[in-house]
Amino acid sequence: MINKYKSLSLALLLAGGLVVGGCNSTRKADLHYENFDYTLAIEEYKEAFASREPNLVGAQRLADSYRLTGRTKEAEEWYAKVVAMPEADPINIYYYAEALRSNGKYFEAKTQYQNYAMKVPAEAAKANAKANASDAALKLLEEPVSAIVVNETAINSGNADFSPTVYENGIIFASDRGGPKSNDKDVDAGTYGWTGRPYLQMFYAERNQDSTWQLPTMASESLNSLYHDGPAVLDSSNSTIYFTRTHMVEVKNKNVNVDPTSWVKKPMTNDHVNRLEIFSATRSDSGAAGTWSAPKAFPYNKVSEYSVGHPALSPDGKTMYFVSDKPGGFGETDIYYSELQADGNWGQPVNAGNTINTVGKEMFPSFDRSGYFYFSSDTHPGFGGLDVFRAQGSRASWTKPQNLRNPINSPKDDFGMTFMRNVEKSETVGYLSSNRDSNNGTDDIYSFKMLSNAVLLVTTLERVSLPSKRTTTQPLSDVQLKLAIKGSTDTTAAFTNLNGEYAYGVMKGNVYELAGQKFGYLKQSATVSIDTTSLADTTRVTLIFDKSKANVAIALENIYYDLDKWNIRPDAALELDKLVRILQDNPSIKIELGSHTDAREGLGYNMLLSERRAQSAVEYLVSKGIPRNRLSWKGYGETRLRNGCADGVECTEEQHQMNRRTEFKIK
């Protein structure tokens, strides 16, 4: 669920309309609801429904109140009651699905999204996208963790604290904790009825050298008004700040969204809608507090028609990215960009394109030191609520966004990432916001350290014999893979695609155990170390599968012998170690090892030599712990040459060596 003050798409609407469908026992609750005082409405509805069953209107309003204040568990409970009522509007099915997904109930959420798509075809694209995202969440849960995340309890309050931006030796963040201005004068800014808490203001928290926090104080008085302010972003020199501020606009005799997430227009009269604007200010002196100029409005604010907010700057400071619900976008809120012109003014906003933007909500853009672009979305495949995604590119040209996985993301809202500047180049650390630990929908600030991420690309191939007696390989699809950190019992399962490939997200420095199996084939496994020193982000591993058929010879690659020798060469030992693994992975099979020679020397000599070679291979396997009763051996001498190098035929040493080989077959 997305708190009202947190999302541009949830435009803040004040003033009320007529009470509809209420009765004497819920009149007070209805008045609070109509005035958008949802926290008060919840208490009144709960009291009213303690002694009687709710009607449809009352149940829906209580469910809406829980949803709009971010209390997803209670919202799920009440939307379940609403959708069971025959006359309920289909939008409640969508809200029910949203609550289920935010509570991590992905199977149930998918079903409800699909139900909504069938009942409201006009919204099928959005609902089906959410259904697909529910499937994706289950797969993401199987991926290795991506970061270390810590709740910064020392600066978090019992209220909402979110969207930090790095400033001097600390952070500036948005909070509705209330409190005095920076000059220690108490200011009664009132209470925001929607949440029952004070209005949002910008606060500054400084971090000490020992990583402890000083008590947060309200930021400069010139940056905070008596209404909602924040979030903000600063340029690289910390001399210019861009921030979001809410503006109240009177809307007369127009259709406005009482709840823009419902996509249902409701007529209201003489209402005020609160829209967001971007402002900037410059600092005239140094120091953490600083003296800031009077805020200057972004030239493309247009509160009479839409909101703009959540500013972010590209690493070079020449492009501003922001969020808007202006007409003509792809979804409820889109990310736009504006380029700095030669004269110092910002250019006309341009949509950042549908690689980033979806039919849902995209918001809270930011950049790291390397120029990666981060944003939050409730529609790109993720865990639920808002998830953080990363992409490369600029303006309207981007790579496919990547979900940052667990624990950066959760089934709740995860957003507002910012990155530390003065850290080791190899480290990616910073702060983010989430309501994952909240029972009342409020957000906390978390610190994070991204773990060194890499990709393990697994290729599965089938060994195939050719008429020429040579072998080749071809992709083997639908192989079940299991991956686990060495020593752990927690495995991540997957299946290879039509190309016989699957890419795992892994962490550098870890050692993994990989296993693959498919019916009719011998199981295969490998131990994989993810190199911490390699510049490459991808480690490639190939598993080659042989069919599990009795009495079919399977050649061991590179099991060759020197002329007239039967000892195991080092290169042959490496290949025999693979056979050890096959026997360990397939404990029920017994094999015969067969050894072959080239055509030089006599038949009797070659037969004896091959027997000794086969026996030496068996002894090697026994030395590695394979029970002797699973092994037998046989020498074939020169009776089964792989090429035409028979007696009297002139061949190269390489051609002769192809015949000096060892094979195995299942008995």
Is pLDDT at 22 greater than 60 in this prediction? no
Is pLDDT at 589 greater than 80 in this prediction? yes
Is pLDDT at 332 greater than 60 in this prediction? yes
CA distance 638 to 212: 77
- For residue 396, the model assigns a pLDDT of 96
What value does the mean pLDDT take over residues 651-658? 86
- The alpha carbon dihedral of 438, 411, 259, 87 has a sign of negative
Q: Assign 469 a pLDDT band (cuts: 50, 70, 90).
A: low
Q: Assign 659 a pLDDT band (cuts: 50, 70, 90).
A: confident
- The counts of H helices and E strands in the chain are 10, 39
- For residue 505, the model assigns a pLDDT of 78
Write out pLDDT tens, residues 130-145: 999 898 898 888 776 7
The pair of structure tokens assigned to 261 is: 């997430």
Backbone angles phi, psi at 52, to 5 degrees: -155, 160
What value does the mean pLDDT take over residues 17-45? 77
Entry field: residues in the chain: 667
CB-CB neighbours of 213 under 10 Å = 16
The pair of structure tokens assigned to 319 is: 């492009």
- For residue 452, the model assigns a pLDDT of 67
Is pLDDT at 367 greater than 90 in this prediction? yes
What value does the mean pLDDT take over residues 636-642? 87
Contacts of 222 (CB under 8 A, 6+ apart): 281, 292, 293, 294, 295
Provide the terminal-to-terminal Cα distance of the chain, rounded to the nearest Å.
61
Output the CA angle 491-495-500, nearest 5 degrees.
Answer: 130
H-run or E-run covering 165: strand 161-167
Write out pLDDT tens, residues 559-588: 766 666 777 877 778 888 888 999 999 999
The pair of structure tokens assigned to 222 is: 């010139």
- For residue 401, the model assigns a pLDDT of 92
Q: Assign 190 a pLDDT band (cuts: 50, 70, 90).
A: low
What value does the mean pLDDT take over residues 394-416? 93
- Say if pTM beats, i.e. exceeds, 0.85: no
Is pLDDT at 162 greater than 60 in this prediction? yes
- For residue 436, the model assigns a pLDDT of 94
What value does the mean pLDDT take over residues 63-90? 95
- For residue 24, the model assigns a pLDDT of 52
| 313-317, 477-481, 537-541: least confidently modelled range | 537-541
The pair of structure tokens assigned to 312 is: 């972010």
- For residue 4, the model assigns a pLDDT of 39
DSSP 324: E
| 215-219, 392-396, 469-473: least confidently modelled range | 469-473
- The residue type of 612 is R
- For residue 374, the model assigns a pLDDT of 97
- For residue 445, the model assigns a pLDDT of 97
Listed ranges 182-191, 250-259, 486-495, 557-566; the one with the highest mean pLDDT: 486-495
CA distance 419 to 388: 14
CA distance 274 to 559: 76
Instruction: Spell out a b/e string for 441-455, using b for 16 or more CB atoms within 10 Å of the CB, else e.
Output: bbbbbbbbebbebbe
Q: Assign 468 a pLDDT band (cuts: 50, 70, 90).
A: low
| 216-230, 282-296, 511-525: least confidently modelled range | 282-296
Q: What percent of the chain has pLDDT over 90?
A: 56
Q: HSE of 645 in the Cβ direction (CA atoms, 13 Å)?
A: 20
Assign 314 to helix, strand or coil: coil
Write out pLDDT tens, residues 251-294: 654 444 333 322 222 233 346 677 899 999 999 876 555 689 99
CA distance 607 to 622: 23
**More confident: 466 or 16:** 466
- For residue 561, the model assigns a pLDDT of 66
Give a three-class secondary structure readout of 327-386. CCCCCCEEEEEEEECCCCCECCCEECCCCCCCCCEEEEEEECCCCCEEEEECCCCCCCCC
Closest to 177 measured CA to CA, from 214, 222, 216, 207: 216
CA distance 236 to 613: 70
CA distance 139 to 145: 13
Contacts of 111 (CB under 8 A, 6+ apart): none
- For residue 667, the model assigns a pLDDT of 82
Write out pLDDT tens, residues 591-619: 998 888 888 888 888 899 889 888 988 99
The whole-chain average pLDDT of the chain stands at 85
Write out pLDDT tens, residues 369-383: 888 999 999 999 999
